[in-house]
Amino acid sequence: MLAIGLGAAAVAGAALMAAPGHAEKAVPVPAPAVDVPAAKGRAVAVLAGGCFWGMEAVFEQVKGVVDVTSGYAGGDAGTANYGAVSTERTRHAEAIRIVYDPSVVSYGRLLQLYFSVAHDPTQLNRQGPDSGPSYRSAIFPQSKQQAAVAQRYLAQLGKANLYGKPIVTRIESGKFYPAEAQHQDFARRNPRHPYIVRWDAPKVAALKAAYPRLVRG
């Protein structure tokens, strides 16, 4: 996200509200042709798609999602902090860790929402107003099955050409590290923050409009 503190919100608000956004409407992507089989217990998905505030805000609305944590993935533990990641030299991406119930929502369904409403997978090393490799579009599979499903889904969406531009999402490996406490549940705690209002609230609205049956009551 832009380096905007709550105290600077009034100063930056006008510029953010005037900027063009993405994801006010869902992209009608199909569900994956192949999915990870449902299993008992809990499963984990790690996804990166720009500022983790908005990614977290979207997925915490989804039925079957037990917990969402904002954090960093792709780099080392020593640089897994906002100050270091903001230098764009750590290899980290801002990411979220989703704990979910596979009997309620599948990994493939999470990927469908990721590509449909959570972010724009055609933006290379950026997302909306944020630029740099930490804002890249990347999937971090947590198992061989997830990796296979993600690879096939990328191929499926590429052939469908639903965006009019190439998908730049990468499949990567690397550990996930939770972000600082101030970044957790940021959108829910700060719904009037200009960045949330302009860039992230529209994503949540798009989710609810396009996938009402998948949204928790």
- In terms of residues, how long is the chain? 217
Catalytic residue among 23, 43, 47, 51: 51
Verify whether residue 135 is a known catalytic residue: no
Residues with Cβ within 8 Å of residue 122, at least 6 apart in sequence: 163, 165, 166, 167, 168
Give the closest residue to 96 by CA, choosing from 60, 43, 122. Answer: 60
Give the closest residue to 69 by CA, choosing from 81, 55, 83. Answer: 55
Q: Count other C-beta atoms under 10 Å from residue 144's C-beta.
A: 8
Is residue 150 a contact partner of residue 182, using CB atoms and an 8 Å limit?
no
192: exposed, middle or buried (C-beta count within 10 Å: 0-12, 13-18, 19+)? exposed
Catalytic residue positions, numbered: 51
